[in-house]
Amino acid sequence: MTLPPLTLSLQFARFDGVAEHRAALPRHAVARWLRHALERPGELTVRIVDADEGRTLNRDYRHKDYATNVLTFDYAHEPVVVADLVLCAPVVAREAAEQGKPLRAHYAHLLVHGALHAQGWDHETSEADAEAMEAREIAILARLGFPNPYADRVT
């Protein structure tokens, strides 16, 4: 399986506890996870932020006044996927703990999720689109050695 090329900028804001998040996100692993999620070459910036920055971005761009786990700002889908993925470290850590998942596994899932959004996948348009996107995430994560992130979800 040939994976598409990726130009990656991995950025960490300054916040308490950033070392734990840096440890969960070695550059080579982030690049591997994203390349598996990309269908074509990509130029992605991944930024790990604190709750204040995450909330500000979500409020200013989505008009939702809370910090969310991942925001995708997609600028181009073809011929190269160009996007910024912003992950809110405190939210990701809280969700991982609540779901009983390793922080690294939850980050892998959210990066794959964000990369799919960057390519035009959307889970908010219809139930069918949500199911298709989840199935794609599950397949990609399985190839990467991660369990189904939705396995424990109550339906």
Q: Over 70: is that where the pLDDT of 155 sits?
A: no
- Cα separation values, 127 from 35, 53, 120, 132, 151, Å: 26, 31, 16, 9, 18
Cα(57)–Cα(76) distance, rounded to whole angstroms? 20
CA distances from 136 to 15, 42, 47, 121, 152 (A): 33, 18, 23, 10, 17
Classify domain 6-143 at the CATH class level.
Answer: alpha beta
**Peptide bond connecting 79 to the previous residue in cis, omega within 30 degrees of 0:** yes
Residue 20: count of CB within 10 angstroms of its CB:
12
Q: How many CA atoms lie within 13 A of 23 on its CB side?
A: 7
Q: Is 90:80 a contact under the CB 8 Å cutoff?
A: no
Per-residue confidence (pLDDT) for residue 152, from 0 to 100: 79
pLDDT at 6: 98
CA distance 98 to 106: 11
pLDDT, one tens digit per residue, over 6-59 is: 999 999 999 999 999 999 999 999 999 999 999 999 999 999 999 999 999 999
**Residues annotated in the binding site for Zn(2+), as ranges?**
113, 117, 123
Q: Is the pLDDT of residue 1 over 80?
A: no
Pick out the residues of the known binding site.
Answer: 113, 117, 123
Query: Which residues are paired to 70 by β-bridges?
Result: 87
Beta pairing partners, 134: none
- Mean pLDDT computed over 96-107: 97
Task: Name the average pLDDT for the chain.
Answer: 95
Domain-wise residue ranges, the chain: 6-143
Position 123 scores a pLDDT of: 86
Global pTM reads 0.95
- The secondary structure element, H or E, covering residue 11 is strand 6-12
